[in-house]
Chain A
Amino acid sequence: MTSETKSNLARLGLMIAVYLILAARIPSYYSQPGIAALLDSAVLAGIIAIGVGLTMIAGEMDLSVGSMAAFAGILSIQLFPYGMVPALVIVVLFCGLLGALQGYCIYKLNISSMVFTIGTLIALRGLTLVVSNEKTVLIPFENIAETDFLSAKFFVFSIPSATLLVLVLLVDFFSRRTLWGREIFAIGGGRGEARAAGVSIRRPIIVAFSISAALAGLAGALLSFRTGSASPLGFEAVLLEAVTACLIGGIALAGGRGSILGVLIGLFTIRFLVSGIAALGAPFWMQSLATGALLIFVIIAEAAIGYVTRRRRMARALTA
């Protein structure tokens, strides 16, 4: 068994342990509607985490996803009169294009993506306020029933939660089995080495940021359709949960390692925990406190494990 498989099993074990511990206290954790609600609660952060994860694998990080989702939410509600599917397609394509532009700038300027996306985070939030006229936008009352199907459940799945699972599988396939996906892994694992081997740096960066923005757009649009409204100030807290899901799911902060399937594991570890805390009656701010504490715990643990592994490898190299 490789060390990667081992660490993935450990993460899966953690997720199952969190589930079992909380399920013992919370009956809804093993009821059909309860599981459906858990799945639904994961859609927003989940879809966004896929894209953030991809940029992290490339050794970068897209911090602008929250603003992008809010922007897409407003835009999709405003385009609703032209039909839901066209609105969705236009919004996702447009966001993907913005992301590609962002990726191009980051490549061209050779700038830290964490810094650049803070800039776009502010600008996009402002743009969202402009586009929405600083008001929450709503689907017209007479059309409100048209989006109800997004909340309908088939067994435990709704259309949004099924979309999340399909997207995870799709992007996981993309990242594992295509040239473009492997390039993202290559530049994250060793940018200089990959460049020397003839890998283009531009394409994977643009692709990763484009997918990240398109998925953030999709998540914003889907969620806004489901609730029938979009606020220009929404989706601010989603970045934290998405990044936490990626890190718990085994995507390395330094890039090049991890998998999109792992992100799903990380996502549900958080969802089980946070929903459980809510179900046990803790106030809402306890949920983000728990997410933050979990994130600190995970990154410190990863740093410590990395340190020990390096020491051990060095010791092995010396005795050999």
Chain B
Amino acid sequence: MLRMSGIVKSYGPTRVLEDVDLAVEAGEVMALMGENGAGKSTLVKILAGIEPADGGTISIDGATVSIRSPGHAQAAGIGYVAQELSIVESLSVAENVFLGDETLGFFRSAASLARRAKPYLARVGLDHIDPLSLAEEHSVAERQLVEIARLLSRKARIAILDEPTAALSETEIVRVKAAVRTLAAEGCAIIYVTHRMPEVFDLTQKVTVLRNGKSFPAVETAGLSIGDLIEAMLGRQLGQMFPPRAAHAGEEILRLDACRASGLKAPVSLSLRRGEILALAGQVGSGAGAVLRMLAGVTPIQSGSVTLEGSAYAPSGIAGSIARKVLYCSDDRKRDGIFAVRSVPENLSAPALSAVSRFGLLSPALEGEHVTRIARQFGLGERFLGRLAGNLSGGNQQKVALGKWIGLDPKILLVEEPTRGVDVGARSEIYNNLRNLADEGLSIIFASSDTQEVLGLADRIASFFHGELVRICNADDVTAESLTRDVTRASEAA
């Protein structure tokens, strides 16, 4: 039904997709898999009309179509459920089903919308909820199902679901899977992006794997072994970009005992030593990021205890963690990591204003010294110092976001997705920077969904799946395959 062939896409000099082919038939669920950075989300966005392709053809039922906007995609019968939901919380469930649908006529009543929404809601297993109730009264899973009901109502012939189960519990996943089957039974062709092995083997008929922007020919799920699948996904060679590991680690600096926080489904116990880099490996919603946010004081510690250098640690808010020299970089640097409209030096000294001022006055000498030290440590050349942070490349922005903490003499650095949106060259530099800091005695915990990064950078690895800690191992005892099995729960799919 849908055929994409020879799709090419570059961002600047970086080629994200080169020659990708993909085909889905009506009534078929096809898994789209691949490591982070393999190009899955770019491909999906091209199909949904959010990004234009640089080359290649898309045809539906044999006819070539041109998709240059979300409107084109919708007109061609393509429905897209993104990771960030498009449900307006203050509207009713029924209105959300028909949101953006102008074919229902100008006049509409809540009751008529509810009546029309009912059958679609029933087909995704939401027959028990009141279509007139507000979307905000329902769980994330139910909102996800409302999105699928929206696809049904629009008679979408091709549905793209981008990690629809990332934030859901097991019982909720069952409901979403049932809704996906309904969608397929109606003759819809489904592209299902996921990192979760059980879902792949349970739900899909075919798998297309992307690796380094290239596609492998689709294979039947039934005849596939987990080993084959993992092998196809891996094989990205990044070995050269990682610095050697630490020769030895110091004494224990941080200990978590049976800690729970928002985003964690089971208590987590961990320890961290001085000069050590600990990776929390896991996909979106795995709980890896939740541990960092808890340690940073963004979300409260609900139960259990944390010990930092022998004394209890329970930060109340970000300021509390900063006071204890536990410093946090979120995964969205544009949102809260950098001051885009201010210069690089001003960014670098932002958390350390007290250290670079005397009697309430900023000291240009102290600030200059401070900024130069960080810039040298992070390889930010002179020519970047006069620029606005927002005008830097992703890699240099990330250096600014990380580097601004160095001036505070941190004890522990918490980094979520250290190289998201960072090009290959700058990645290697950032890895080296982090390793150098660790060698100087800083302890680092980073959360990452990038297998290669976890394997290459960490001394020890804690793998997470679905809000639970799976296991903690020394990096030497972990292979790409075993790690991928842990973070996709391959054991359950077998």
Q: Which residues of A contact B (CB under 8 A)?
A: 2, 4, 176-180, 182, 185-186, 188-190, 192-199, 256-257, 317-318
A182 touches B106 (CB 8 A): no
Give residues of chain B (43-101) contacting chain A, Cβ–Cβ below 8 Å.
Answer: 70-71, 74, 82, 84-91, 95-96, 99-101
Sample of 15 A–B contacts (CB below 8 Å): A2-B133, A4-B134, A179-B102, A179-B108, A180-B106, A186-B95, A188-B90, A190-B90, A192-B84, A193-B87, A193-B89, A197-B96, A198-B74, A198-B100, A257-B90
* B10 at the binding interface (Cβ < 8 Å): no
- Of B90, B100, B108, B133, which one neighbours A197 at CB under 8 angstroms? B100
Chain B residues lying within 8 Å of A317, measured Cβ to Cβ, are: 262
A85 vs B223: C-alpha distance in the bound complex, in angstroms? 79
- How many interface residues does B have (CB within 8 Å)? 30
Chain A residues lying within 8 Å of B71, measured Cβ to Cβ, are: 198
* B391 at the binding interface (Cβ < 8 Å): no
Chain B contact surface mostly: loop
* B107 at the binding interface (Cβ < 8 Å): yes
- Provide the B294-334 mask, 1 if CB < 8 A to any CB of A, else 0: 00000000100000000000000000000000000000000
Chain A residues lying within 8 Å of B211, measured Cβ to Cβ, are: none
Total residue contacts A-B, CB cutoff 8 A: 73
* B258 at the binding interface (Cβ < 8 Å): no
B108 touches A186 (CB 8 A): no
Chain B residues lying within 8 Å of A185, measured Cβ to Cβ, are: 90-91
B262 touches A189 (CB 8 A): no
- Provide the B97-115 mask, 1 if CB < 8 A to any CB of A, else 0: 0011110111111100000
Chain B residues lying within 8 Å of A4, measured Cβ to Cβ, are: 134
Chain B residues lying within 8 Å of A179, measured Cβ to Cβ, are: 102, 104-108
A81 vs B71: C-alpha distance in the bound complex, in angstroms? 50
A198 touches B107 (CB 8 A): no
* B150 at the binding interface (Cβ < 8 Å): yes
A176 vs B107: C-alpha distance in the bound complex, in angstroms? 9
A178 vs B106: C-alpha distance in the bound complex, in angstroms? 5
Chain B residues lying within 8 Å of A188, measured Cβ to Cβ, are: 90
A186 touches B88 (CB 8 A): yes
A188 vs B85: C-alpha distance in the bound complex, in angstroms? 16
Min CB–CB distance B162 → chain A (angstroms): 12
Nearest 8 A/B pairs, CB to CB: A198-B100, A189-B90, A196-B86, A256-B90, A197-B100, A190-B88, A197-B99, A197-B86
Chain A residues lying within 8 Å of B70, measured Cβ to Cβ, are: 198
A257 vs B88: C-alpha distance in the bound complex, in angstroms? 11
Q: Which residue of B lies closest to A196 (CB)?
A: B86
Chain B residues lying within 8 Å of A198, measured Cβ to Cβ, are: 70-71, 74, 99-101
Chain B residues lying within 8 Å of A195, measured Cβ to Cβ, are: 86
A193 touches B88 (CB 8 A): yes
- Of B101, B107, B150, which one neighbours A178 at CB under 8 angstroms? B107
A196 touches B82 (CB 8 A): yes
A193 vs B85: C-alpha distance in the bound complex, in angstroms? 7
Min CB–CB distance B411 → chain A (angstroms): 29
Q: Which residue of A lies closest to B130 (CB)?
A: A2
Min CB–CB distance A107 → chain B (angstroms): 17
A104 vs B435: C-alpha distance in the bound complex, in angstroms? 52
A256 touches B88 (CB 8 A): yes
A237 vs B106: C-alpha distance in the bound complex, in angstroms? 36
A194 touches B86 (CB 8 A): yes
A72 vs B302: C-alpha distance in the bound complex, in angstroms? 60
Chain A residues lying within 8 Å of B86, measured Cβ to Cβ, are: 192-197
- Of A180, A189, A192, which one neighbours B91 at CB under 8 angstroms? A189
- Of A178, A189, A318, which one neighbours B88 at CB under 8 angstroms? A189
Min CB–CB distance A194 → chain B (angstroms): 6
A186 vs B89: C-alpha distance in the bound complex, in angstroms? 9
B106 touches A189 (CB 8 A): no
A4 vs B133: C-alpha distance in the bound complex, in angstroms? 11
A175 vs B123: C-alpha distance in the bound complex, in angstroms? 30
B302 touches A318 (CB 8 A): yes
Chain B residues lying within 8 Å of A190, measured Cβ to Cβ, are: 87-90
A176 vs B95: C-alpha distance in the bound complex, in angstroms? 11
Chain B residues lying within 8 Å of A182, measured Cβ to Cβ, are: 91, 95, 108
Chain A residues lying within 8 Å of B88, measured Cβ to Cβ, are: 186, 189-190, 193-194, 197, 256
A186 vs B97: C-alpha distance in the bound complex, in angstroms? 12
Max chain A CB contacts within 10 Å: which of B70, B87, B90? B90
Min CB–CB distance A226 → chain B (angstroms): 34
Chain A residues lying within 8 Å of B106, measured Cβ to Cβ, are: 178-180
Chain B residues lying within 8 Å of A318, measured Cβ to Cβ, are: 262, 302
Chain A residues lying within 8 Å of B74, measured Cβ to Cβ, are: 198
A177 touches B90 (CB 8 A): no
Max chain A CB contacts within 10 Å: which of B70, B88, B104? B88
B108 touches A194 (CB 8 A): no
Min CB–CB distance B96 → chain A (angstroms): 8
A99 vs B147: C-alpha distance in the bound complex, in angstroms? 35
Chain A residues lying within 8 Å of B91, measured Cβ to Cβ, are: 182, 185-186, 189, 256
Min CB–CB distance A99 → chain B (angstroms): 21
Q: Which residue of A lies closest to B85 (CB)?
A: A193
Chain A residues lying within 8 Å of B84, measured Cβ to Cβ, are: 192, 196
Min CB–CB distance B238 → chain A (angstroms): 33
Chain A residues lying within 8 Å of B108, measured Cβ to Cβ, are: 177-179, 182
- Of B89, B133, B150, which one neighbours A189 at CB under 8 angstroms? B89
B82 touches A197 (CB 8 A): no
